[in-house]
Amino acid sequence: MVQAGSLEQTARAVAVESLAPQIDAGRFAVKTIVGELFVVEADAFTHGHDLVRCMLRWSAEGGGAWSESGMLALGNDRWRGSFVPEQVGLYEYTVEAWVDEAATWLKDLGRRAQAGPVDAVEWRVGADIMRRAAALAAAPGSRSRLATAARSLERGGSVSPSRLAAWVEEAGAHLGRENSTRLAPLRLRVDPTRAAFSAWYEVFPRSLGPDGGHGTLRNLERQLPRIAGLGFDVLYLPPIHPIGRSRRKGPGNRPGDPARDPGSPWAIGSAEGGHKSVHPELGDLDDLRRLVVRARRLGLEVALDLAFQCAPDHPYLEQHPSWFKRLPDGSVRHAENPPKRYEDIVPFDFASPDRLALWAELKSVCDFWIEQGIRTFRVDNPHTKPFDFWEWLLSELKREHPDLVFLSEAFTRPRVMERLAKLGFSQSYTYFAWRDRPLELRQYLTQLTRGPQRDYLRANLWPNTPDILTEYLQRGGRAAFIARLVLAATLAANYGIYGGAFEALENRAAGPESEEYLDSEKYQLRHWVADPLMLDLITRLNRARRQNPALQSDRELVFHGVDNPDLLVYSKSGADQRGALLMVVNTDPFNVQAGWTDLDLGRLGLSGEEAFVAHDLLSDESYNWRGGHNFVRLDPSRLSAHVLRLEVGDQT
């Protein structure tokens, strides 16, 4: 085997290039999930008219045996191959190609036969090819078959085309491979299925207490059947650690009273403990472990918040003062995002001279919660920490526990968000919350699902969070909540809601042009009263996601035409266009909108003008449609979206 670019390459060496997918010339690992078909393409060609054989090779990283399969010629020297990774963790993959002397001989033999009788010497050339291939074959059966082929061709006897083709195929797998070109392996990160398909539900356990009191993890445990019944599979908890008393915040992010106000969960640490402790008012480690076990029995994974920051009275500040930045007057610098100030939070200095000890300690925080049964983490503000830290931490943790899932909460610049995804975050918050109009939604989701990001950034769409109450939700009423819910849950395979506030249709902002909630749950207890219609809609939507594989992937998202700019029409299907679902969403929360669709029938698994039934999984109504042009009308006072399962045949 000759390495690409080496001086020892023979004159017959094959050029292999444009291998895809790869990220930044192989600097970062491509992502897929266990059990999903992973498709690779490359250009492979040689000078002259010789034919090329191209193989896809892969192996679990760490010295495992290499597997391989032949790649399909797509035309114009482009090749495609695929394999299905069967375990989570890191893989390597590459492409190897060489001149296929046997196939070239057979091609030329056919051309000579068209011109007239084939010279006996040409059969002897074929016999020589078979003998040399037999000498290279490792398996006794292959050696025997190729030796038989050599004898038959030497005699110039009559050979059936099918048998001759089989001999040539077998010979081509061995002959010429000593002069093959093999690209340096690339890395593939294989994640668990829940990294690519999940529905998140965020809840503050402290708001679940009876009679307006402080809730506990046991109170949350009693809510598990309800949350699982809504169809969620990830239960996300904001930080559950002791909350600092120094400079504690009260309602509205104003100075609070530690004796009265519960403070912000993100102000972590006090005399009661730090990042490896449970807030005493929530319970203890036994309560958390029991919650994790009982949630898992109901199909729920508990996700914890990783917030690498401290309250001013966190034990770390006294034990490791060098881990924090100091101002010229000797005081500790507090967190801020001008004009916002967070006097109750102190950031770590990740460039501290003692940073190795700091980084090791933060890894031990993750290790601790993993030992308690946690396998999913939502990471607070990762874009404010160094890239090198995340690359090291995620690599170490996933090497030891390849089934971990990390959600990046990075509402930041696009390149920063993308870099974090490349470094190993399993899922990413996006700009979805601020994309309201059909055109901008179409452009943004096309970028996420068709652009280069598709190989490393998995979108997790959230219509709201404790930090984000968009203007659209503030002014649009229930119709706006319905539209955003359906968009989040059907445009992406991963989505989430800030549960209590969303179910209650909470739309009161702290002030004009503010996205902060009035009476934010970040600083006080809130006891929500859910809207029954919203609960029913969430349940129906999550059931549709679980029952329809089309909604469990982002690969086959297709946008369709419609003659009304306030309507968004899109579909999802399997890779073979089977089981397609068609979504129609009215993004105008105030007015009835109607229009005629222009459907790409081929992408829906339909043809021509055949009749089909569009059955709405949300309203349970059915519509008889035909062809690509069909009338839709959505009244936001009733239901602002369709999720349509298409059934061929007029069923009137």
Question: pLDDT tens for residues 176-212?
Answer: 888 899 999 999 999 999 999 999 999 999 999 998 8
A 10 A CB-CB count for 121 gives 9
Element (H, E) at 391: helix 387-400
Question: Which residues are paired to 460 by β-bridges?
Answer: 494
The CA distance from 449 to 430, in Å, is: 13
364 has pLDDT over 80 = yes
Rg (CA), the chain: 30
Domain formed by 2-190, architecture: Sandwich (2.60)
- The domains of the chain are located at 2-190, 554-648
A 10 A CB-CB count for 136 gives 16
Q: Which of 163-177, 290-304, 313-327 has the lowest mean pLDDT?
A: 163-177
Which pLDDT tens digit goes with each residue over 76-128? 999 999 999 999 999 999 999 999 999 999 998 888 888 878 788 888 999 99
Given this model, what pLDDT does residue 652 score? 45
Active-site residue, selected from the candidate residues 50, 170, 287, 380: 380
The CA distance from 192 to 182, in Å, is: 29
The CA distance from 63 to 333, in Å, is: 47
Given this model, what pLDDT does residue 12 score? 57
Mutual angle of helices 471-491 and 438-450, in 10-degree steps: 40
* Residues sharing a CB contact under 8 Å with residue 331, sequence separation 6 or more, in sequence order: none
Q: What CATH homologous superfamily does 554-648 map to?
A: Golgi alpha-mannosidase II (2.60.40.1180)
Predicted TM-score of the model (pTM):
0.93
**pLDDT category, 403, cuts 50, 70, 90?**
very high
Task: Decide if 2-190 and 554-648 have a common fold.
Answer: yes
41 included as an active-site residue: no
214 has pLDDT over 80 = yes
10 has pLDDT over 60 = no
Given this model, what pLDDT does residue 387 score? 98
Mutual angle of helices 161-172 and 101-115, in 10-degree steps: 150
Given this model, what pLDDT does residue 609 score? 81
Active-site residue, selected from the candidate residues 409, 554, 588, 616: 409
**End-to-end Cα distance, the chain:** 65
Smallest Cα–Cα separation from 31: which of 186, 198, 191? 191
Q: Is the link from the previous residue into 339 a cis peptide, with omega within 30 of 0? A: yes
The CA distance from 140 to 136, in Å, is: 11
Smallest Cα–Cα separation from 592: which of 568, 617, 566, 621? 566
- Token look-up 């993100």 returns 266
* Residues sharing a CB contact under 8 Å with residue 640, sequence separation 6 or more, in sequence order: 479, 482, 483, 486, 585, 586, 589, 634
4 has pLDDT over 60 = no
Tokens, residue 291:
């919650």
* Residues sharing a CB contact under 8 Å with residue 312, sequence separation 6 or more, in sequence order: 244, 246, 247, 332, 334, 344, 346
DSSP annotation of 413 reads -
Query: What does residue 233 show for φ and ψ, rounded to 5 degrees?
Result: -125, -5
Given this model, what pLDDT does residue 7 score? 52
DSSP annotation of 343 reads T
Percent of the chain whose predicted confidence (pLDDT) is above 90 = 85
Q: Which amino acid is at 69?
A: S
649 has pLDDT over 80 = no
Tokens, residue 125:
């050339």
**What is the average pLDDT value for the chain, to the nearest integer?**
94
Given this model, what pLDDT does residue 8 score? 54
335 has pLDDT over 90 = no
380 included as an active-site residue: yes
